[in-house]
């Protein structure tokens, strides 16, 4: 590669985080540290029923045992500094807790934050018909379009509201896909989760709009423990969007969310994520630890769950959105772009567990690594004995933008049925010199050429995102690549 080319790539690597600013909102915080008292404090603060407190306490007991066993997951291709779970504040809620119907009542500072992020909330709502459940730190402060959703019988509210208003649904489904014993971080989340989103689509309802939540980590040193529960009843459809950015911060912020999806017979859930949390400085100082457990179950026949993600932020990403294909003829999909630069580390992928007959899964994963970052795909395809005629196709491509970056692929294919057909392909290469040459001799600058090539590399995935998200995703990728190129 020519020197200007390498220079460009170096600049790409060092491009600073654009969304690093801090919103100064007063917060109601729990004392730092984790103990049974804190768990009780959170539960009390949220006025939770007894059964939920008991569940939290069971999870907390389990978590204590895991800490004693030093059972933090270490199998991932990540270097994680030991986390002091006692130095984290487990609860923080904005003091103002209005129950609002319109945006005018929302704290103007929040609106300003979104505006600076280039997400004009108000406009977006009107233009795109997206109902946004804004999560500022841990408590939902504004929920819109509720009325329209209510008309269809769709429940879309904060997790705390769901506990209050729909305890039966929460009780029935919470922990059914990700039990509190699932893994270290899911257990922690189960004990201390602050809030999150709840969504229920009644039978036969095609959700009239895309449901969207913008998560923000805000208060310094606050762990963010979201819990999302999505239930799509028989024959329903919902598309759910989750996007995140976070203010710049020097200390590590731990984020251990849990997302559970239940798709009943013939239901379809499409879950899209853009993750752009603070990745830490060029030297690897600070940044968000994103340790997330996301799992869906296709419990009924003919159901479908599709995960699409664009991961560009976080110092460390540890995330495997999975699908349990229990119902016959059910479908699981996973589309992912993971872009790492600086000293970011990502170990991400999926799990497709085939249990039902004629189940199908598709995995398309694209990893782009620059700087000194390490980007790993780790995915499991498991075909159980009962999964007659199961079919899987996986493709994992990696692109390297620097000679100090790493791209790794760790697929696990476990097949226990003779009628299964499982294919996995992976390639690793860098931006081709010949491709850049081709573009340049047609008058396209080197920078544009690289953008073009990277964009083409990810196109398959970005095309899976809902329209307005896809536009944002493309912008984000371009910013990641270009922002520092003067």
Partner 1 sequence: MIPSLDDNNSLEAQFLVAQALVAASATNGQTDGFDAFREAGRIRFSSQGFPAPRTELWKYTPVRRWLKTDFSFDSGVGFSELPSSEYRGDIGSYHAVCVDGIFIPSLSSIPDKDEFEGYIGAISKAKMPLDRLLSHLETINPRTETAFDALNQSFFQDGLLVHIPHDTELAEPLYITNLVTSGSNAFMQPRTLIVAESASKGAIIDLRDHDSGITTFENSVTQIHVGSGAQLDYYHVFDRGPLSHLIRKLNVYQEADSTCSTNELILSGALVRTDLNFLPDGEGCTTNLNGFYLAQSDTHIDVHTMVDHAKPDCVSNELFKGIIGDTATAVFNGRVLVRQDAQRINAYQSNRNIVLSDTAKMFSKPELEIYADDVKCSHGATTGQIDSEAMFYLRSRGIKESVARNLLLQAFAADVLALVSVDSLRERLQEIVAERLRKQSG
Q: What are the residues binding partner 1 (CB under 8 A)?
A: 75, 77, 385, 398, 400-430
How far apart are the C-alpha atoms of 429 and 362, rounded to whole Å?
22
Nearer to partner 1, 70 or 442 (CB): 70
Shortest CB 426 distance to partner 1, Å: 5
Q: Is 46 helix (H, G, I), strand (E, B) or coil?
A: coil
How far apart are the C-alpha atoms of 363 and 349, rounded to whole Å?
9
Other residues' Cβ atoms within 10 Å of the Cβ of residue 442: 8
Residues 287 and 321: beta-carbon distance below 8 Å = no
Contacts of 393 (CB under 8 A, 6+ apart): 361, 362, 363, 423
Shortest CB 458 distance to partner 1, Å: 18
Shortest CB 87 distance to partner 1, Å: 27
Q: Indicate the pairing of strand 197-201 with strand 258-263.
A: unpaired
Shortest CB 421 distance to partner 1, Å: 4
| 438 φ/ψ angles, rounded to the nearest 5 degrees | -55, -50
Shortest CB 154 distance to partner 1, Å: 41
Shortest CB 383 distance to partner 1, Å: 8
Shortest CB 436 distance to partner 1, Å: 13
How far apart are the C-alpha atoms of 176 and 215, rounded to whole Å?
24
Shortest CB 423 distance to partner 1, Å: 5
Nearer to partner 1, 2 or 416 (CB): 416
Nearer to partner 1, 224 or 392 (CB): 392
Nearer to partner 1, 84 or 425 (CB): 425
In the numeric block, which tokens belong to residue 279? Answer: 């990745």
Q: How many residues does the chain have?
A: 486
In the numeric block, which tokens belong to residue 446? Answer: 């080197």
Shortest CB 433 distance to partner 1, Å: 9
Nearer to partner 1, 30 or 381 (CB): 381
Shortest CB 414 distance to partner 1, Å: 5
Nearer to partner 1, 413 or 447 (CB): 413
Nearer to partner 1, 238 or 407 (CB): 407
Phi/psi zone of residue 47: left (φ > 0), alpha (ψ -120 to 50 degrees), beta? left
Nearer to partner 1, 287 or 402 (CB): 402
Q: Please, what sign has the CA dihedral across residues 466, 363, 365, 349?
A: positive
| 399 φ/ψ angles, rounded to the nearest 5 degrees | -125, 135
Residues 157 and 165: beta-carbon distance below 8 Å = yes
Nearer to partner 1, 67 or 103 (CB): 67
How far apart are the C-alpha atoms of 454 and 430, rounded to whole Å?
10
Shortest CB 430 distance to partner 1, Å: 4
Q: For tokens 């270009």, what's the residue?
A: 482
Residue 75 burial by Cβ neighbours in a 10 Å radius (0-12, 13-18, 19+):
exposed
Nearer to partner 1, 137 or 347 (CB): 347
Residue 122 burial by Cβ neighbours in a 10 Å radius (0-12, 13-18, 19+):
middle
Shortest CB 427 distance to partner 1, Å: 4
Residues 295 and 286: beta-carbon distance below 8 Å = no
Q: Show the 3-state SS of 394-459.
A: EEEEEEECCCCCEEEEEEEEEECCCCCEEEEEEEEEECCHHHHHHHHCCCCCHHHHHHHHHHHHHH
Under DSSP, the state recorded for 327 is S
Shortest CB 407 distance to partner 1, Å: 5
Q: For tokens 């189960």, what's the residue?
A: 190
Q: Indicate the pairing of strand 155-158 with strand 197-201.
A: antiparallel
208 vs 147, 185, 251, CA distance in Å?
12, 34, 41
Nearer to partner 1, 61 or 77 (CB): 77
């Amino acid at each position: 590669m020519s020197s200007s080319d390498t220079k460009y790539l170096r600049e790409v690597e060092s491009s600073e985080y654009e969304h690093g600013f801090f919103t100064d909102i007063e917060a109601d915080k729990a004392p730092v540290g984790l103990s049974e008292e804190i768990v009780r404090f959170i539960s009390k603060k949220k006025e939770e029923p007894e059964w939920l407190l008991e569940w939290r306490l069971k999870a907390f007991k389990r978590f204590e045992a895991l800490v004693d066993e030093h059972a933090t997951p270490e199998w991932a291709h990540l270097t994680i500094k030991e986390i002091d779970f006692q130095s984290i504040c487990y609860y923080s809620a904005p003091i103002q807790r209005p129950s609002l119907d319109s945006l005018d009542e929302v704290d103007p500072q929040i609106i300003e934050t979104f505006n600076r992020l280039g997400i004009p909330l108000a406009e977006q709502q009107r233009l795109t018909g997206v109902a946004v459940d804004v999560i500022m730190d841990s408590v939902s402060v504004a929920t819109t379009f509720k009325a329209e959703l209510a008309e269809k019988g769709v429940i879309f509210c904060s997790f705390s509201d769901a506990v209050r208003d729909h305890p039966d649904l929460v009780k029935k489904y919470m922990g059914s896909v990700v039990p509190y014993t699932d893994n270290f971080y899911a257990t922690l989340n189960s004990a201390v989760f602050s809030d999150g989103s709840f969504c229920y689509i009644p039978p036969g309802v095609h959700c009239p709009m895309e449901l969207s939540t913008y998560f923000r980590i805000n208060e310094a040193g606050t762990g963010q423990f979201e819990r999302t529960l999505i239930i799509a009843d028989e024959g329903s459809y919902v598309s759910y969007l989750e996007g995140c950015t976070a203010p710049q911060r020097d200390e590590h912020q731990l984020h251990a969310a849990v997302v559970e999806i239940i798709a009943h017979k013939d239901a379809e859930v499409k879950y899209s994520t853009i993750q752009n949390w603070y990745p830490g400085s060029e030297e690897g100082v600070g940044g968000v630890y994103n340790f997330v457990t996301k799992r869906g179950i296709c419990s009924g026949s003919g159901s479908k769950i599709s995960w699409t993600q664009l991961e560009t932020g976080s110092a460390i990403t540890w995330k495997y959105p999975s699908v349990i294909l229990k119902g016959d003829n059910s479908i699981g999909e996973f589309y992912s772009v993971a872009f790492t630069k600086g000293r970011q580390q990502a170990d991400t992928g999926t799990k497709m567990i085939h249990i039902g007959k004629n189940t199908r899964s598709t995995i398309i994963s694209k990893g782009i690594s620059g700087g000194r970052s390490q980007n790993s795909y780790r995915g499991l395809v498991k075909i159980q004995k009962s999964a007659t005629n199961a079919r899987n196709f996986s493709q994992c491509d990696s692109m390297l933008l620097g000679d100090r970056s790493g791209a790794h692929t760790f697929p696990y294919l476990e097949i226990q049925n003779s009628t299964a057909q499982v294919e996995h392909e992976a390639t690793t290469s860098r931006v081709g010199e010949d491709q850049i040459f081709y573009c340049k001799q047609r008058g396209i600058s080197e920078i544009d050429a690289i953008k073009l090539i990277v964009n083409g590399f990810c196109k398959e995935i970005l095309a899976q995102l809902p329209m307005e998200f896809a536009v944002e995703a493309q912008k984000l990728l371009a910013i990641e690549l270009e922002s520092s190129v003067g």
